[in-house]
A = this chain, B = another copy of it.
Amino acid sequence: MYRSHTCGELNANAIGKEVTLAGWVQTVRKFGSITFVDLRDRYGITQLLFGETLTPQLDNQPLGREYVLQVTGKVIERTSKNKNLATGDIEIDVTSFTILNKAATPPFTIQDDTDGGDDLRMKYRYLDLRRNAVKRNLELRYAVNRSARNYLHENNFMDIETPFLIKSTPEGARDFVVPSRMNPGQFYALPQSPQTFKQLLMVSGYDRYYQVVKCFRDEDLRADRQPEFTQIDCEMSFVEQEDILQMFEGLIKRIFKDVRNIDYTETVQRMTWNDAMLKYGNDKPDIRFGMELANLKTVFEAQTGDAAALEIFEASGFKVFNEAETVLAIAVPGAADYTRKQVDELTEWVKRPQIGMNGLVYIRCGADGSFKSSVDKFFNEEQLKTIAGIAAAQPGDLVLILAGREERTRKAISELRLELGERLGLRRKDEFKLLWVLDFPLFEYSEEENRWVARHHPFTSPKPDHISVMIENDPEIRDAANYLQHPYANIKANAYDMVLNGNEIGGGSIRIFQRELQEKMFAALGMSKEEALHKFGFLLGAFEYGAPPHGGIAFGFDRLCAILGGSESIRDFIAFPKNNSGRDVMLDAPAAIDDKQLTELSIKLNA
């Protein structure tokens, strides 16, 4: 061993000891005939004192930043102690030293507040990983991993590894594929998730399964997506939804406690998907703050809106509202005195292409009980008061109203709400609010293909009392314009998402475990019997031999870590992430391969 101690463990108790340390040179400070060096390793920083004898040697062998150094010396008390450092009471009076390796000057500073840009730090990721900020992220990630494993182990879950070289069954996202040399013309696929395997393990009687496992999706990347990502993947037998919710609230609470020392004692809130959409315009609402939507006028789930509001709109003759499918409002607390400039800026904000609204209507609810709006021509103060009341506005609030097509308007007001929550400081990084969103629709309608697609995945069971609706009705959509009238449109899934601070951190469902229902599901999704058998014959087969009721959940491990670490970006929590083009710029991968490799794999490039 090159050291007797790490750079993080020596304190006043060690004074007088002879020790050997090894680590990286963080700083070198020469004061006349003596030199101080801060030596860094994973565990901390220890100050080294090179006295009058050794300092001249340092002049011959000067130490640079990031040199790897081994020193031997005696632990002595510091004259000026550093209370911010675990080792701040002591320093090492160095008696001998060895430079184990030199270092070129790093292309950016190894500090929390580095001068390195994103691209440079990705190229030299091995240096970026030295920065404390990144190291803390990976330590947090490991702590989450460890905490999750311990909790699941204590609850009788078993880690069982599932294969990575499987069969391509693209549903939704694209598979990454792997040409098989030994089976020319054939390909493996990398798993998008171990979904079918964990279900087979339930059929096999393993009862409780987990894995912290890499998954792969060949999607066009967005800022916060990676082609390979990690899931905490779990499945349980003989359970109903309630059992899953309780087990996995427990998991997240345990992680809060172990990783952030947070006692999450309050009851985890639950909300139906319907309510989430109505109140927040969003299936993963951030419930750290209010500003719930007022559904003044809407067609969501065959509703019409607020009766009083509709009456006022009709009377007003204000076309923008009257001709809109949907009119939604939020009351921004204490924002009645926003300047004209501020309101104009918000208007521009909702008109950006990402949001896509035509304009923004506001009502200022004066602290004095007055109501002024941008549409005073159409509404009198009494009418404005009524509308503000529906939006639950208090004196001093600013009511913001958007109107337009249902889906776009709901999405827009949801974004606006989040943006204002952010601006008003209502989305605090150190506050954590969990929420279960329940009762998702089982199907979504695909206009393009005029058929149903699975909202979650094809293995999700309908709610128990909706199973018969699915079995007894023909999935075919004969009247595309009125697809909402098809009985399938109202089938709810036995599915649940866990939402943390407005982010979906996990999702799952109670699964179908009967062959007939699974076959009906495949048929509902437009799969022929042959196709279903070709792709999922093994699962349909397994369901014939005594499949138990089962269900599960998968957590997005990267995102969970990022949120716990108070960050927006999952990349900061991955040791070697890829950029937005799916490239590893450090490795320079992907890259061309040899012709010999292509030939062996029986493939050619198709330029």
Contacts and interface: CB of A to CB of B under 8 A. Distances in A.
Contacts of A158: 138-139, 142
B602 A603 contact: no
B183 A590 contact: yes
Nearest to A537: B588
A488 interface: no
A174 interface: yes
Contacts of A527: none
A51 interface: no
Interface in A515-541: 537-538, 541
A24 B592 contact: no
Contacts of A394: none
Given A597-B170, A597-B175, A129 B204 contact: yes
A180 B582 contact: yes
A88 to B, nearest CB: 20
Contacts of A239: 1-2
**Which of A146, A181, A207, A230 has most chain B Cβ within 10 Å?**
A181
Interface in A68-125: 68, 100-104, 106, 124-125
Contact of A602 (B197, B240, B606): B606
Given A126-B203, A575-B162, A182 B581 contact: yes
A240 B178 CA distance: 39
Interface stretch (A276-284, A301-309, A353-361, A546-554): A546-554
Interface in A4-57: 6, 22-24, 40-43
Nearest to A66: B546
A130 interface: yes
Interface in A165-190: 165-168, 170, 174-190
B100 A574 contact: no
A68 B546 contact: yes
A206 to B, nearest CB: 6
A537 B575 CA distance: 19
A273 interface: no
B165 A578 contact: yes
Contacts of A176: 165, 178, 188
A183 B583 contact: yes
Interface stretch (A213-221, A422-430, A489-497): A213-221
Contacts of A146: 153, 159
**Which of A180, A190, A542, A602 has most chain B Cβ within 10 Å?**
A180
Interface in A553-607: 574-576, 578, 581-584, 586-594, 597-607
Would you list the 5 A-B pairs with minimal beta carbon distance, nearest first? A103-B546, A167-B589, A129-B204, A186-B590, A2-B238
